[in-house]
Amino acid sequence: MPKDSGIGASPKRREDVRFLTGTGNYTDDINLNGQAYVHFLRSDVAHGRLVSVDTSDAAAMPGVVRIFTGADFEGVGGLPCGWQVTDRFGEVMQEPAHPVLAQGKVRHVGDPIAAVVADTPEQARDAAEAIAVEMEELPAVINMKEAVKDGATKVHDDLTSNLCYDWGFVEENREAVDKAIQDAAHVTTLELVNNRLVANPMEPRVAVGDFNRATGESTLYTTSQNPHVIRLLMGAFVLGIPEHKLRVVAPDVGGGFGSKIFHYAEEAFCTFAAKALNRAVKWTSSRSEAFMSDAHGRDHVTKIELALDADNNFTALRTETYANMGAYLSTFAPSVPTWLHGTLMAGNYKTPLIYVNVKAVFTNTVAVDAYRGAGRPEATYQLERVIDKAARELGVDPIALRRQNFITEFPYATPVAVEYDTGDYVATMDKLEEIADLSGFAARRAASEAKGKLRGLGVNCYIEACGIAPSNLVGQLGARAGLYESATVRVNATGGIVVMTGSHSHGQGHETSFPQVIADMIGIPEDMVEIEHGDTANTPMGMGTYGSRSLAVGGSAMVRATEKIIAKAKKIAAHILEASDADIELKDGQFTVAGTDKSLAWGDVTLAAYVPHNYPLEDIEPGLEETAFYDPANFTYPSGAYACEVEVDPDTGKVTIESFAAADDFGNIVNPMIVDGQVHGGIGQGIGQALLEGCVYDEDGQLLSASFMDYAMPRADDLPFYKVDHSCQTPCTHNPLGVKGCGEAGAIGTPPAVVNAVVDALQSAGKDVTHIDMPLSPARVWAAMNG
């Protein structure tokens, strides 16, 4: 029987009402009195030396308030990078400067050269066209392998080369892995590309800077997944504004998928300009600007080798990856191909020896950083593709090969430095076989063939590390931040509760799911609990929402704060009921003295906390508000098994998704409806990556896929209904809710299933095709089929 409230129920989302009636409050809906508008003049070449930027004509145009160039930002900090990777020789990565507006050189199409502030957006845009830029164009470096060759043009003149770092993991395993591969009974090798993607949340980025001369306080309204992180990075590293003079607000945010984690130049500019002009300054990105200024995702070129013994047990794995950083280091870019990728290379399998090498490379392209899954999709894709290829080479069933090598005992310490606390990979695979009706596949293939179509089945597993992360661990790995979360639970006199959380909801439904947890703990209706997020003025501190961490880390902080509330409320109840607090029980919103019928309602106790007439004032303070910070003890490890069935049209190469099934283990579930929705969205993006999406630069560094006309976003008629199941639940052992996180799973688990399915379809027709790089466009599939 499904529950109708509390943990495990699916109440309708309360945030929906404002979104469905057009009354949400997104950043672009915010207009401040007397605000001016900024338009950025962006580079239209990939690489060039700025000879001069003449703004005199433009400055005289109607409505222009002021034009800023790189010169205005001399002495102002650049955009900081939040993670320092140490390479395999013990050296720290090369870290170039990242000015707010270009200084001396432009390094990618879209690099901002000047910023025009005017009374209206149209005037700002018109004036930007009148700026005269003299540029000496330089050769662009786009291809990563070319970029690291001796003598290649350097993106940053002051660095020794275009190599950011050369990372080895685990370096001590290197020789043992080489030897195991040499001695193996069978080695499967695969070279592949993890295609460059653009996150494209439907809401483009927006920033509104404001300044109050009377108080000296700056305020930034921005489309961010983590307003506190922006306050810290921008305040401390770019503009030198202390936190108590800087407020960052991220109101309703229209999707993020990683791309709204990072601190961007436009945010710093609007805050800076508002103070310089004593006037609010607003920037709204167009979609075209978003394509050339939002951080991109993925873009790995990889060679992977899997070694097996004569009984088909995995014995070793070696991978070499070139990871594109783009022209500058975005906020968390260095961590994505390293600690969020290398540590996941064991996947669901007991491979004893693993070595991961990653070369991060600067190119004249937009910065690349985390995009839904961040490193884990790249790990899963190569691993699950090479396993599939191995099965086909060995003539064994791909599912059986996986099952044979599954990790089955937990906790399990992998050879890549992480310890999985729980999981049951057999159970999720069993569940997948059931919901995807794999036993009926042969009949479905026959039916497709009768229509002249090739049908393929692709199956794969995934594991991810979520709930990022223990601060002391990530500190050792190079993070320049802690990754805890905080929550303040404020109980009002009449019993209603406001929770202020550092987690940020931009589609995840925290306003609905977080109250379910509190309501369960206290035994009160969910509508007595309200969630506030997204404003540094309200919430104590927050690391924000990404890496599927909100419930596992932010939710845990909220639970800890609520536990403190309950402990204090019991003391108050004990005093009034003249009992010892150890004897007080809280159930269904009633405090009772164990074994008696003496009781007090929740509201009586909360009222006593604020009207402390009969109250233990000598022991405890009045009031009922508690804050907790929660720092996780480990990552969480969601896992699952996915199956995709495709049809391929042999005449055109067009692939259609006929069915898609996902069996996930997310540990405990608070709101199954929301979890399903998260998985659906991830699958949609995963199918997008596999079949449609690809960000393309030409060799001169021109961005060819610069709008929705050229970048193929998945549309409703590209996708089927999905079958999703999360009944396999092995609760996380180290957070109080036993939850693991579900936001990224779909995007991680999906691409290999689709590609495995297409390869299966082609091989079923006797085609000698072992791999096709994503996106599997009709042209690519047709070319692969026709040799």
Partner 1 sequence: MVKVTMTVNGRTASGEVEGRTLLSGFLREELGLTGTHVGCDTSQCGACVVHVDGKAVKSCTMLAAEADGAEIATIEGQAAPDGTLNVIQQAFQDHHGLQCGFCTPGMVMSAAALLKDNPKPSEQEIREYLEGNLCRCTGYHNIVKAIMAASGQDVSAVAAE
Write the DSSP symbol of residue 553: I
CA gap 670, 729 in Å, rounded:
12
Place of tokens 């959380």: 501
Minimum distance from CB of 7 to partner 1 (Å)?
17
Q: How far is the CB of 255 from ligand FES (least distance, A)?
A: 5
Token reading at 401 = 């090969």
Cβ-based nearer residue to partner 1, 253 or 329: 253
Three-state SS for 407? coil
Q: To which residue do tokens 């050769």 refer?
A: 139
Task: In angstroms, give the least distance from the CB of 142 to ligand FES.
Answer: 29
Strand ranges of the sheet holding 281-284, from the earlier edge strand across to the other edge = 64-69, 112-118, 36-42, 281-284, 206-212, 217-222, 246-249
Residue 286 binds partner 1 (CB under 8 A): yes
The phi-psi region of residue 300 (left if phi > 0; otherwise alpha if psi is between -120 and 50; otherwise beta) is beta
> What is the closest distance, in whole angstroms, from the C-beta atom of residue 120 to partner 1 in the complex?
9
* Binds ligand FES (CB under 6 A): choice among 8, 63, 255, 616: 255
Q: Report d(CA 555, CA 467) in Å as an integer.
A: 10
CB of 286 to ligand FES, least distance (A): 10
**Footprint of ligand FES on 630-649 (CB under 6 A):** none
Least gap, CB of 507 to ligand FES (angstroms) = 5
Do residues 293 and 330 make contact, with C-beta atoms less than 8 angstroms apart?
no
With CB under 5 to 8 Å by kind, the binding choice for 157 among partner 1, ligand FES, none is: none
Q: Between residues 498 and 713, which has the closer beta carbon with respect to partner 1? A: 713
202 or 214: whose CB is closer to ligand FES? 202
Contact criterion met (CB below 8 Å) for 684 and 691: no
10 touching partner 1, by CB under 8 A: yes
Judged by CB under 6 A, does residue 741 bind ligand FES? no
Nearer to partner 1, 140 or 745 (CB): 745
> Cβ closer to partner 1: 16 or 588?
16
Per rule CB under 8 A, count of chain residues that contact partner 1: 61
Dump strand ranges (E) for 184-245: 186-194, 197-198, 206-212, 217-222
What b-and-e string marks burial along 28-37, b requiring 16 or more CB atoms within 10 Å of the CB?
bebebeebbb
Is residue 24 a contact residue for ligand FES (CB under 6 A)? no
**Which of residues 396, 426, 719, 765 is near partner 1 by CB under 8 A?**
719
Residues touching ligand FES, count (CB under 6 A): 4
Under 8 Å between Cβ of 522 and 563: no
Considering beta carbons, is residue 82 or 254 the nearer one to ligand FES? Answer: 254
Element (H, E) at 420: strand 419-420
In degrees and rounded to multiples of 5, residue 60 shows phi and psi of -90, 0
Under the criterion CB under 8 A, does residue 253 sit at the interface with partner 1? yes
Find, among 334, 414, 337, the residue nearest to 375 by Cα: 337
Give the closest residue to 387 by CA, choosing from 304, 303, 302. 304
Residue 684 interacts, among partner 1, ligand FES, none and using kind-specific CB cut-offs from 5 to 8 Å, with: partner 1
Is residue 292 near partner 1 by the rule CB under 8 A?
A: no
Cβ proximity to ligand FES, 121 vs 255, nearer residue: 255
CB 314 within 8 A of CB 349: yes
DSSP code for 27: G
Closest CA to 207 of 87, 36, 364: 36
Q: Which is nearer to ligand FES, 467 or 507 (CB)?
A: 507
- Give the one entry of partner 1, ligand FES, none that residue 393 binds, where binding means its C-beta sits below a cut-off of 5 to 8 angstroms depending on kind: none
Dmax over CA atoms of the chain, in Å, equals 86
The distance of closest approach from Cβ of residue 291 to ligand FES in the complex, given in angstroms and rounded to an integer, is: 14
Taking the complex as a whole, the smallest distance from the CB of residue 431 to partner 1 amounts, in Å, to: 14
Q: How far is the CB of 32 from partner 1 (least distance, A)?
A: 13
Where helices occur in 350-508 by DSSP H, the ranges are: 376-394, 398-405, 425-435, 441-450, 471-476
Q: Which two tokens stand for residue 105?
A: 């050189």
Amino acid type, 673: M
Site for partner 1 in 635-674 (CB under 8 A): 672-674
Shortest distance (Å) from residue 482 CB to ligand FES: 30
Q: Other CB atoms closer than 10 Å to residue 621's CB: what's the count? A: 12
- 17: contact with partner 1 by CB under 8 A: yes
The partner in contact with residue 476, picked from partner 1, ligand FES, none with C-beta cut-offs of 5 to 8 angstroms by kind, is none
Match 């009633």 to its residue by tokens. Answer: 590
**One-letter identity of residue 399:** I
Tell me if 202 contacts partner 1 by CB under 8 A. yes
Give whole-number Cα distances, 48 to 70, 467, 696, 701, in Å.
15, 41, 20, 11
Contacts with partner 1 in 181-200 (CB under 8 A)? Answer: 200
- The reply on whether position 124 binds partner 1 by CB under 8 A is no
Q: Judged by CB under 8 A, which of 311, 618, 717, 768 binds partner 1? A: 717
- Part in contact with partner 1 (CB under 8 A); list of ranges 389-397, 529-537, 601-609, 710-718: 710-718
Put the strands of the sheet holding 105-106 in their side by side order.
Answer: 105-106, 48-54, 132-137
Residues 489-518 close enough to bind partner 1 by CB under 8 A? 506-509
CB 201, min distance to partner 1, A: 6
For residue 287, state whether it binds partner 1 (rule: CB under 8 A): yes
What is the C-alpha to C-alpha distance for residues 605 and 609, in angstroms, rounded to an integer?
6
Which of 189, 288, 404, 599 lies at the binding interface for partner 1 (CB under 8 A)?
288
The span from the CA of 463 to the CA of 252, in Å, is 31
Closer Cβ to ligand FES, 93 or 197, answer by number: 197
Residue 642 structure tokens: 């996915």
141 binds, among ligand FES, partner 1, none (CB under 5 to 8 A by kind): none
- Interface with ligand FES, residue 342, by CB under 6 A: no
Nearer to partner 1, 251 or 423 (CB): 251
How many Cβ atoms sit within 10 Å of the Cβ of residue 352?
16
User: Is 490 in a helix, a strand, or coil?
Assistant: strand
* 616 touches ligand FES by CB under 6 A: no
Q: Which residue has the tokens 């929770």?
A: 499
β-pair partners for 361: 163, 324
Amino acid at 202: M
Q: Which is nearer to ligand FES, 252 or 384 (CB)?
A: 252
Nearest distance in Å: CB 471, partner 1: 29
Q: From CA 513, how far away is CA 11, in angstroms rounded?
A: 8
Q: Under the criterion CB under 6 A, does residue 202 sit at the interface with ligand FES?
A: yes
Whose CB is nearest to ligand FES?
202
Contact yes or no for 660/723 (Cβ under 8 A)? yes
Query: Is residue 507 part of the contact set for ligand FES (CB under 6 A)?
Result: yes
Which residue's CB is nearer to ligand FES, number 507 or number 534? 507
Give the residue carrying structure tokens 């049809």.
Answer: 647
SS3 689: helix
CB 303 within 8 A of CB 319: yes
Nearest approach in angstroms of CB 257 to partner 1 is 7
Return the one option of ligand FES, partner 1, none that residue 677 interacts with (CB less than 5 to 8 A, by type): partner 1
Minimum distance, C-beta of residue 318 to partner 1, in the bound complex (Å): 35
Residue 436 DSSP code:
T
Least separation in angstroms between residue 498's CB and ligand FES is 26
Considering the complex, state which of residue 587 and residue 715 has its C-beta at the smaller distance from partner 1.
715
Q: Given the rule CB under 6 A, which residues bind ligand FES?
A: 202, 254-255, 507
The residue ranges that bind partner 1 (CB under 8 A) are 10, 12-13, 15-24, 26, 28-29, 31, 122, 200-204, 252-255, 257, 286-288, 506-509, 672-674, 676-677, 680-685, 687, 707-709, 713-717, 719, 721-724, 746
